[in-house]
Amino acid sequence: MQQLRCGTAAGTMLLAVLLLVISAARAHNITKLLAKHPEFSTFNDYLTTTHLAPEINRRTTITVCAVDNSAMSDLLAKKLSIYSIKHTLSLHVLLDYYGANKLHQITNGTALVATMFQTTGAAPGASGFVNITNLKGGKVGFALQDSDAIDAMFVKSVEEAPYNISVIHISKILPSEVAEAPTPSPSEMNLNGLMSAHGCKVFADALQASDAAKVFQENAIGGLTIFCPVDDAFKAFLPKYKNLTAAGKISLLEYHGLPVYMSMSMLKSNNGVMNTLATDGASKYDFIVQNDGEVVTIQTKVVTAKVTSTLHDEQPVAIYTINKVLKPIELFKASPTLSPSPAPAPEEEKPADAPKPHSRRHKGTTTPAADSPDDSPSDEDSADKTADDTGSAARLDGWRFVSAGISGLAALLLL
């Protein structure tokens, strides 16, 4: 039975490998696609400048409505801020695939499609939706949902990779007073209000009551990324938070911020150790950013938290929600499940009653109790370790199955 379970697990692993191969084959790069068409060079440049390009690249089933250099000149003549330009261009990224054939075969002659602007949280109501309409004579028109007239026409297909990405040429920029509206500068941004309105009020209130709030606001000008724990997570943590010294509270809050702007695509492509706002010389206060596909995690030596949503992502500020409070090793003891275990000493050399090592405490901080539920290994961890200790033989058979499966996959790919 154990061998059967391992064989099933190995088969699942083989399927995962196959999906990774397919995913890699379907990856796209909007900058490279548009680079082959110089008439869209200005549009392409601003996709990079506004950081929309990496967001487009990480998505699938998407349509980019590109405009030529002349149409971009009309937009730039309005002297909009870079943030308003980003909002406007994000209206031209449809969150569905529309190649030339699909555009001319729309059911009932019209379709309402969400755009990337709708996902930013800056589009009130349905202002981030676009209507696509089949017109007489084989023409296709584009208009914002609240528009009474056709705003732009389909010109031609530029690049198509069904059903992953389509790049089409439309005649002009889709006009939107909402997207073009002035946006507050980073120094004027109400970070606490933004977090409070999107499920992070407890964290935001703690930040507002601390001197750390000034540090966050000052960094918003040059670049800032915030990982704010959702309300339930920070509420559960409040007893431990209240036990910290004043300096410890500031360090913990600053530990949830990076002194640089990191979009979601940047987080996924820059895995590794990152310094935080709390980092100060010997006081490292760093953590590891890691991703597994679309899932991004923040790993300290005490806890691992998962990024659950994007609250705000406009350079130079990005704000993400996380499902746990980030606990730095400088303030809390390491979790046995997250720290590497030393190799056991040979049996003949182990003293009968070896003394336990003393734990160090960070000066000026409070260490939580040893029996804290989130600082101790879970039953699942213990069960997993038991399974690891008893299943080595079955695991060998499972890996033989994986090896055979991968060999078969390689043979199929070579056909």
E-only strand ranges, 52-151? 62-66, 93-94, 110-114, 129-134, 140-144
pTM above 0.85, yes or no: no
Cα separation, 257 vs 253, whole angstroms = 8
Amino acid at 403: S
Q: Position of tokens 């349905």?
A: 126
Residue 321's pLDDT is what? Answer: 97
Residue 353's pLDDT is what? Answer: 40
**Superfamily of the domain at 24-170:** FAS1 domain (2.30.180.10)
**Superfamily of the domain at 186-331:** FAS1 domain (2.30.180.10)
Give the strand order in the sheet containing 93-94.
93-94, 62-66, 165-170, 152-161, 140-144, 129-134, 110-114
Cα separation, 33 vs 25, whole angstroms = 15
Cβ(287)–Cβ(278) below 8 Å: no
Q: Give yes or no on whether 24-170 and 186-331 have one common fold.
A: yes
Cβ(368)–Cβ(240) below 8 Å: yes
Q: In tens digits, what is the pLDDT along the chain, a chain of 415 residues?
A: 555 555 555 555 555 545 444 444 457 899 999 999 999 999 999 998 888 898 899 888 999 999 999 999 999 999 998 889 999 999 999 999 999 999 999 988 899 999 999 887 778 888 999 999 999 899 999 999 878 889 999 999 999 999 999 999 999 999 999 999 887 666 667 898 889 988 999 999 999 999 999 999 988 888 899 999 999 999 999 999 999 999 999 999 999 999 999 988 889 888 899 999 999 877 799 999 999 888 999 999 999 999 999 998 877 899 999 999 999 999 998 766 554 444 444 443 333 343 333 333 333 333 333 333 344 333 333 333 333 343 334 333 444 444 445 455 444 444 4
Domain coordinates in residue numbering, the chain = 24-170, 186-331
Q: What is the DSSP letter of 159?
A: E
Q: Which helix (H) or strand (E) holds 126?
A: none
Residues 6+ apart with CB under 8 A from 183: 81, 83, 84, 87, 122, 314
Q: How many residues are there in the chain?
A: 415
Residue 15's pLDDT is what? Answer: 54
Cis peptide before 186 (omega within 30 of 0): no
Nearest to 118 by CA among 85, 92, 148: 92
Cα separation, 106 vs 50, whole angstroms = 31
Residue 37's pLDDT is what? Answer: 97
Nearest to 49 by CA among 92, 86, 88, 81: 86
